[in-house]
Amino acid sequence: MMHHTGPLLPALTADQMREVDRVMVDELHIGLIQMMENAGRNLADLAQHRYLPAEVVVLAGPGGNGGGGLVAARHLANRGVQVRVVLAGEDSQVPAAQRQLDILRRMDVPISAEPPDHSDVVVDALIGYSLRGNPRGRAASLITWANARPTPVLSLDTPSGLDVTTGVAATPCVRADATLTLALPKLGLVGSPEVGDLYLADISVPAQVYVRFGYTVGHPFARGSLVELDDNGQPR
C-alpha cells in the first residue's frame, strides 16, 4: 500500500501497549474515544479497499476493541454498506464504547445477538490485547462460528484469542484473512499464521511516546494512515 523509509518498526508487548494507551490518555489528553474513532475509521477503510463488500457483519465484544468495531460499523453504514452488528455480551462497561453503541442504535443500524446467514466479510472486534486465558461464553461461540464459515475475517488489532505478546493461540482463536493492528505491531502478531495479512493503522500516537521504551519509530504514516506490513512486521 505504502512505501516507507526510516528506522525499523519495533513490536510491542501487551504491557507496553497498555502503557502507550495510558500515556495517551493521562499525559497527552488524547482521549480513548479519539483513538477508538481513528481505529474504527481505518478499519472501515481497509474493509472497503480489500473486500469491496456490499454486506458486512461486525462481531463486537464489550471492551475497547469492540468499540473500534462499532465505529467501523458506523462508517461503513454511512458509505452505503449493509452492516449488521452482533454483540458478544452485555453493553460495554467502557464509556467510549457505550457511546458508539448508542450512536448506532440512534442510526437504526441492525444490532442482534445472532449473526446473519450471509455477509461478504466478517469484522472480528471481539477481544483485543487484554486477552486472559481462553475465550469463553458468547465470544468463544462467535469465534467458532466465524472460523466455520468461508467468509474472510478481518480482525481489529489482533485475531480474537491470540496472545499479542507470545503469539500463542488460545482455544478457540480466530483465523483471520487479515489483521489491522494499531499504533505499532505487537510481538505475537509477527509471523503468526492466525493473523493473515498484517496491516498497521495510525491512531495518532506521537513518536515521543515510544521514546520512553527506548524506541525511535520515525514516521511510518507519513504517506497515509494505513500501512501494509511484511512477514517481519516492517512496512512493505
Q: pTM above the 0.85 mark?
A: yes
Strands 121-125, 111-112: parallel, antiparallel or unpaired by DSSP? unpaired
Beta bridge partners of 12: 186
Asked if 109 and 79 touch (Cβ cutoff 8 Å), the reply is no
Per residue in 209-231, pLDDT (tens digit) is: 999 889 999 899 999 999 999 99
pLDDT computed for residue 3 by the predictor: 43
Asked if 60 and 85 touch (Cβ cutoff 8 Å), the reply is yes
105: alpha, beta or left? (left if phi > 0; alpha if psi -120 to 50)? alpha
| Exposure class string for 198-215: b at 16+ Cβ within 10 A, else e | bbbbbbebeeebbeeeeb
Could you give the domains of the chain? 14-228 (3.40.50.10260)
Q: How many residues does the chain have?
A: 236
pLDDT computed for residue 6 by the predictor: 60
Distance between CA atoms of 49 and 230, rounded to whole angstroms? 18
pLDDT at 2 over 50: no
Confidence tier at 4 by pLDDT (50, 70, 90) = very low
Asked if 149 and 180 touch (Cβ cutoff 8 Å), the reply is no
Per residue in 159-206, pLDDT (tens digit) is: 999 999 999 999 999 999 999 999 999 999 999 999 999 999 999 999
Which region among 43-47, 147-151, 214-218 has the lowest average model confidence (pLDDT)? 214-218
Distance between CA atoms of 75 and 56, rounded to whole angstroms? 12
Distance between CA atoms of 210 and 216, rounded to whole angstroms? 7
Distance between CA atoms of 139 and 145, rounded to whole angstroms? 10
Asked if 197 and 177 touch (Cβ cutoff 8 Å), the reply is yes
Strands 226-228, 197-201: parallel, antiparallel or unpaired by DSSP? antiparallel
Residues 6 or more apart whose CB falls under 8 angstroms from that of 38 comprise: 201, 202, 203, 204, 225
